[in-house]
Amino acid sequence: MISRRVATRFGSHCAAAGLLATLVAAPVHARTAGAEPPEATIVAEEPEAPAAASATAPGESQQDELSRRATDPTASPPSVALISDFTFDYQDRPDGIPIDEDGVELRFQSVVPFQAWGLPNILRVTVPYTVSGPGSAGLGDITIFDMAVFPVPAGRFGVGLVGSFASSAKETDAHAVGGPAFVLLVPMSKKLNVGLFNQNLFGDGVSISQLQPILAYQLGSGWSLSLGDLQFPYDWDRGEFLALPIGVQLGKVLPIAGQPMRFSINPQYDFKDLPGAGRFSAVFTIQLIMAEKKK
């Protein structure tokens, strides 16, 4: 059960996030009050992913299109994002001593779709920085992956490579590890996508496979409900999963002064009893989508 201290801190973070969203949206509402707002027209700048993935479906607004693509790793729009990961509760240390502090990690993530070898590709770079917590503060392992996307009868299939690079100052046997990455995305309807994303990292002392289930439902008006970034890492050397999280992400695409942005919150709870690991966390994302209005 989550302690009163955890609930209080989480409540304060949620209240702050709600106030921030209200302040950000206020100029837009003030400018459009009393008049019928014009329909937002947003066009991605990058070479298009497969037509079935990126084209606006009949009856779908362009806000909904960007919301759908932002939750689809095979059709991600070009974007930059600041991801704030707050951990409010930890498992006890191996010696049984509780961890009575919060953890904060910031991640900068860029997504660049492009065309290569006659196929749409998705390039993603993630740079994490630990601000506070039981571990060491500073720059974390930088992850880069590139994936080519193919249409298949069931939906879309992506295959590529992923690499993780640790700082030279970090004490580890492997400063660079890598391996193949795969994703299968199956559109169940115009609003519902399901799939599975797999990344594999192998190197000296590292043998990890990460599974990320994909489940995203478009609620309309730029709103979406999805599983978010739930990672299930499996350590082949230890023969066990290192995390068993559950959570849900609520996201919203909102034009701010004509610029499409996406805001999301993703509370997560990890059922894996691993000493010193995070137990309850919340991930807040502010994503700037590289797009422009039609002329």
Say whether pLDDT at 217 is over 80. Answer: yes
pLDDT digits (tens, 9 = 90+) for 73-127: 999 999 999 999 999 999 988 888 889 889 999 999 999 999 998 999 999 999 9
Domain positions in the chain are 4-292
DSSP assignment of the chain equals ---HHHHHHHHHHHHHHHHHHHHHHHHHHHHHTTSPPPPP--EE-SPP--HHHHSPPTT--HHHHHHHHHT-TTSPPSEEEEEEEEEEEEPPPTTS----S-EEEEEEEEEEEEEETTEEEEEEEEEEEEEESSS--EE--EEEEEEEEEEETTEEEEEEEEEEE--TTS--S-SEEEEEEEEEEEE-SSSEEEEEEEEEEEETTEEEEEEEEEEEEEEETTEEEE--S--EEEETTTTEES--EEE-EEEEEEEETTEEEEEEEEEEEE----TT-EEEEEEEEEEEE-EE---
Residue 43 is predicted with a pLDDT of 42
Instruction: Give the β-pairing of 291-292 and 43-44.
Output: antiparallel
pLDDT digits (tens, 9 = 90+) for 218-228: 999 999 999 99
**Largest Cα–Cα distance of the chain, in whole Å?**
63
Higher-pLDDT residue of 84 and 190 is 84
Residue 53 is predicted with a pLDDT of 61
pLDDT digits (tens, 9 = 90+) for 240-285: 999 999 999 999 999 999 899 999 999 999 999 999 999 999 999 9
Return d(Cα 150, Cα 160) in angstroms, integer.
11
Return d(Cα 201, Cα 50) in angstroms, integer.
28
The whole-model pTM stands at 0.77
CB atoms within 10 A of CB 132: 13
- The confidence band for 169, taking pLDDT boundaries of 50, 70 and 90, is low
Residue 291 is predicted with a pLDDT of 64
Say if residues 196 and 211 touch (Cβ distance below 8 Å). Answer: yes
Nearest residue to 143 via CA among 113, 173, 196, 181: 181
Instruction: Give the β-pairing of 206-220 and 192-203.
Output: antiparallel
Lowest mean pLDDT among 23-37, 102-116, 187-201: 23-37
Residue 205 is predicted with a pLDDT of 86
Residue 56 is predicted with a pLDDT of 64
Name the CATH topology of 4-292.
Answer: Porin (2.40.160)
